[in-house]
Structure 1
Amino acid sequence: MPIPADWIEHRRGDRELLGWIRPEADDFVVVDLLGRERTDAVDWLVAEETLEALGIGYLADPYELHLDDGRWLRVRVTEVSIEKIVVKRDDWGAIDIPLLEYTLPFPIPPQLRPLDPHAPVVLDGLS
């Protein structure tokens, strides 16, 4: 999905892209790097402050991917762009587990969601 022409990139001081600020009427909506709207309509300063506070740390958080067979697989985001989102099975740093990667469209599709921190950790049994 190409980014709409009216979305305004917001970068931090080192030029790292933090997300976009999307105009809405006389206000703005914050859009993160996964394409999720993170605010309702707010003024420009609040939008900038929100992206600065949000940063990019959420990309390192665990996520869940809903598989075609109905199971949820714990994954980590490995790549984000306006062309795709790539996730891999969370291997907790193990070197002996085969790599399983999934390429998803941008913006984040409904089958990928942040991991519920209260959900029990279930090993997926995939090999």
Structure 2
Amino acid sequence: MDGWIEHRRPGDREHVGWIRPAGDDWVAVSLLGEELTGPVDWLAAEEVLDDVSLAWLGEVWMLERDGAAALRVRLVELTPERVVVQTDDFGAVDVPVERFELPWPAPSALRPRRTDDPDGVTSFGG
């Protein structure tokens, strides 16, 4: 992360990512370590990060696992050292959860929930 510059939105000073050098250009990088742009000028990188909503931090994600069903998870911690997720507790404080420590940048096994993923509420069978 040498040379990466932390970027905060001007309105609320919320940390929304980084801008990293790419030759004579710059690349906007999300909190998950995902490149949001290719090489662009500084202002374009800032604009992309300024438009980032942090609502996705509170959303349900899916953690793909080898040989097992994907798990519904929530993001618990995001740092340039690691990503920590825990199984979805559906808002209950007394539900046991399992935590998983993932590398940063986040691996492709961690992905946003899709509409065809189980919702965790509907049960099938009979």
Q: TM-score under structure 1 normalisation?
A: 0.83
- What CA deviation, in whole Å up to 9, does each residue of 1:72-124 have, x standing for no partner? 0010101111111111111211234212111111110122111113433246x
Alignment of 1:4-19 (within 5 A): 4-13=1-10, 14-19=12-17
Structure with the larger RCO, 1 or 2 (CA within 8 Å, 6+ apart): 1
**Corresponding residue for 1:64?**
62
Equivalence map 1:1-127=2 (5 Å): 4-13=1-10, 14-122=12-120
2:6 corresponds to which letter in structure 1? E
- Distance across 2 between alignment mates of 1:111 and 1:89: 14
- More displaced 10-residue stretch of structure 1: 14-23 or 84-93: 14-23
The count of residues paired between Structure 1 and Structure 2 equals 120
Residue type at the aligned position of 1:85 = V
Instruction: Give the aligned CA root-mean-square deviation in angstroms.
Output: 1.8
Of 44-53 and 22-31, deviating more is 22-31
Deviates more, 1:28-37 or 1:63-72: 63-72
Instruction: Measure the CA separation in 2 of the matches of 1:106 and 1:68.
Output: 19
1-structure distance, mates of 2:116, 2:48? 26
Gaps of at least 5 residues in structure 1 are none
Output the TM-score relative to the length of structure 2.
Answer: 0.84
Segments of 5+ residues of structure 2 without an aligned counterpart are: 122-126
